[in-house]
Amino acid sequence: MEKKKLIRLVRTDEGVVIDLSGKLAGRGAYLHDNRSCWEKALKGSLANALKIELTEKDRDVLRSFLSKLPDDSVSENTSTEVTDRM
């Protein structure tokens, strides 16, 4: 999958930020735009990729964004892999 079709998340001093521009500095991870990918990532793979412990505030921000994603049946890609990038 092309990187520009993925959603980038960045670890910052203030917490995890959804980086739709893809230009924020910091350790990042990429997720597909489907709910199952985000749900799996919240269970541990995202924290591992970002090398942090997700706070409850981080989880709230990510769940809020997740709730706006289309159902998986709408998305063509159902892979749940989290890709980390520095």
Q: Scanning the structure block, which residue is given the tokens 């706006």?
A: 68
pLDDT in tens, 2-32: 777 899 999 999 999 999 999 999 999 999 9
Domain ranges within the chain, ordered by starting residue: 3-85
Can you name the residues that pair with 16 across neighbouring β-strands? 11
Can you name the residues that pair with 10 across neighbouring β-strands? 17, 28
Cα separation values, 53 from 9, 45, 75, 79, Å = 14, 11, 29, 23
Q: Scanning the structure block, which residue is given the tokens 């999958």?
A: 1
Residue 44 in this model has a pLDDT that exceeds 60: yes
- Give the predicted TM-score (pTM) of the model: 0.78
The CATH number for 3-85, chosen from 3.50.50.60, 3.90.650.10, 3.40.190.10, 3.30.1230.10, is: 3.30.1230.10
